A and B are shown apart, each in its own frame.
Chain A
Amino acid sequence: MAAGAVLSWAIPRYELLNPYLQATLMYLGVNIILATSLNLVNGYLGEFSVGHAGFMAVGAYASATLTVILLPSGAAIWRFPLAILAGGGAAALTGLVVAIPAFRTRGDYLAIVTLAFAMIVKSALENINVIGGPRGLLGIEGLSTMPWIFAWTVLSVWVIRNFVYSNPGRGVLAIREDEVAAELMGVNTRWVKIRVFMIASFFAGVAGGLFTHLLQFINPRIFDITKTTDILVMVYLGGVGSIGGSIAGASLFTVLQECLRPLGVWRMVIMPLLLVLLMLFRPRGIMGLRDFPWFRPSVDLPPRPPEINNS
Chain B
Amino acid sequence: MAYLLQQILNALQLGSIYALIALGYTMVYGIMTMINFAHGDIFMVGAFLCFVAATVLGLPFIPALLLSMTGCALLGVVIERLAYKPLREAPRVSAVITALGVGLVLEHLTLVFSPYPRHVPALWTSAAWHVGGVTLSSLQALIIVLSVLLMVFLDWLVRRTMLGLAIRAISWDRTVAALMGVPVDAVISLTFAIGAALGGAAGLLYALAYPVIDPYMGVMVGWKAFIAAVIGGIGNIRGAMLGGFILGAVEIMVAAFLPSTYRDLIAFALLFLLLIWRPYGLLGQPRPQKV
In the complex, what residues of A have CB within 8 A of residue B268's CB?
116-117, 119-120, 123
Asked if B279 is an interface residue, CB under 8 A from chain A, the answer is yes
Asked if B111 is an interface residue, CB under 8 A from chain A, the answer is yes
B275/A229 in contact, CB under 8 A: no
B100/A229 in contact, CB under 8 A: yes
Q: With contacts A115-B227, A265-B115, A280-B87 known, is A180 near B291, CB below 8 A?
A: yes
How many angstroms from the CA of A198 to the CA of B104 in the assembled complex? 29
Chain A contact patch, size range: 35 or more
Partner of B86, one of A126, A240, A271, A280: A280
Asked if A310 is an interface residue, CB under 8 A from chain B, the answer is yes
How many angstroms from the CA of A229 to the CA of B105 in the assembled complex? 13
How many angstroms from the CA of A62 to the CA of B100 in the assembled complex? 30
Partner of A265, one of B108, B226, B265, B286: B108
Partner of B112, one of A115, A236, A269: A269
Asked if A298 is an interface residue, CB under 8 A from chain B, the answer is no
| Listed stretches B10-18, B90-98, B158-166; interface member | B90-98
Q: Which residue of A lies closest to B109 (CB)?
A: A269
Q: With contacts A120-B268, A283-B91 known, is A108 near B35, CB below 8 A?
A: yes
Residues 211-231 of chain A, each 1 if its beta carbon lies under 8 Å from chain B, else 0: 000000000000001100100
Q: With contacts A269-B105, A272-B101, A283-B87 known, is A119 near B264, CB below 8 A?
A: yes
In the complex, what residues of A have CB within 8 A of residue B125's CB?
none
Q: With contacts A265-B115, A283-B94 known, is A127 near B279, CB below 8 A?
A: no
Residues 76-108 of chain B, each 1 if its beta carbon lies under 8 Å from chain A, else 0: 000000010011001111101110111111011
How many angstroms from the CA of A109 to the CA of B265 in the assembled complex? 20
Partner of B98, one of A113, A123, A279, A284: A279
Among B28-66, those with CB < 8 Å from A are: 35
Asked if A33 is an interface residue, CB under 8 A from chain B, the answer is no
The interface on chain B, measured as residues whose beta carbon lies within 8 A of the other chain's beta carbons, has a size of: 47
In the complex, what residues of A have CB within 8 A of residue B103's CB?
272
Residues 199-230 of chain B, each 1 if its beta carbon lies under 8 Å from chain A, else 0: 00000000000000000000100010011001
B91/A109 in contact, CB under 8 A: no
Partner of A279, one of B97, B107, B230: B97
In the complex, what residues of A have CB within 8 A of residue B279's CB?
104-105, 109
- A/B interface sample: 10 pairs, CB < 8 A: A48-B96, A109-B275, A115-B227, A119-B268, A120-B272, A272-B102, A279-B87, A279-B90, A280-B86, A310-B93
Residues of A within 8 A of B (CB): 42, 48, 101, 104-109, 111-113, 115-117, 119-120, 122-124, 126-127, 134, 180, 225-226, 229, 232-233, 236, 240, 265-266, 268-269, 271-273, 275-276, 279-280, 283-284, 308-311
The 8 closest A-B pairs by CB, nearest first: A272-B104, A268-B108, A283-B94, A123-B265, A283-B90, A276-B101, A275-B101, A272-B101
In addition to A104-B276, A268-B108, A310-B93, 7 A-B residue pairs with Cβ atoms within 8 Å of each other are: A112-B275, A119-B268, A225-B219, A232-B97, A271-B104, A276-B98, A283-B87
